[in-house]
Amino acid sequence: MPESASEMYARILAASQEGRLPTPAMAAWEIFPWEAEGGAVVPKVLAAPGAEEPRRGEQGGADCDACAGFAHAQVIWEDEQWVLTTSTEPTGLPMVLTLWSREHLDVGDFDDEHAAELGRIANRLVRIMEAMPGIGRVHVNRWGDGSSHSHVWFFARPEGFAQIKGSYAVEWDDILPPVPDEVRRADLHAVATKLANWGGHARV
């Protein structure tokens, strides 16, 4: 069962200095849009456009992590068409899951049946995750700049934290201390077994 808001807040305070958590690694990413200047946080100067860089798996699945068997992630549920994973390391948010197509397709490549399946599974996942205690909302996101293999993210934000809302919940995931492993494992098992009620197999 996910932590209560008070349990999570106590764990965050224990990992912080005077209530402030360390700067996450994403601050060093090239795509991170902010920098400090004169005591203020300002947007970086936007570089001129250039050629699009190829994504992983762009050449028909070559160098694709998903096609290689999801060695980069932990599979928690799967069926003949879809694979649901989480990171191998604990997350800061209560739960972060990724739904992949088994076939090397990108969003936009699906036929109507695949697209309908994606919608059904996504709806079931949101329903399952939002019904868990301590979960305020589940955000569903699709980015496609790193991998050409379709993957949709599900970010469960904690209930009761006014600052951890909207698109910035994703940034908070890298800032917050990791969820305790025993809590994480129990939550992943709960989601996977409930999703398996509609088909497929739980793997945790």
**Is pLDDT above 80 for 61?**
no
Over residues 182-190, the mean pLDDT reads 96
And the tokens for 109? 């490549």
Return the exposure string of 131-144: e unless at least 16 CB atoms fall within 10 Å of the residue's CB, then b: ebebbbbbbeeeee
And the tokens for 115? 């697209």
1-59 confidence digits (pLDDT tens) = 778 999 999 999 999 988 889 888 888 888 888 898 888 989 999 989 999 888 888 87
Enter the pTM of the model. Answer: 0.91
The domain limits of the chain are 22-202
Q: Which of 72, 100, 67 is nearest to 88 (CA)?
A: 72
Q: Which of 143, 67, 82 is nearest to 118 (CA)?
A: 82
Q: Which of 85, 199, 194 is nearest to 130 (CA)?
A: 194
CATH match of 22-202 with 3.40.50.720: no
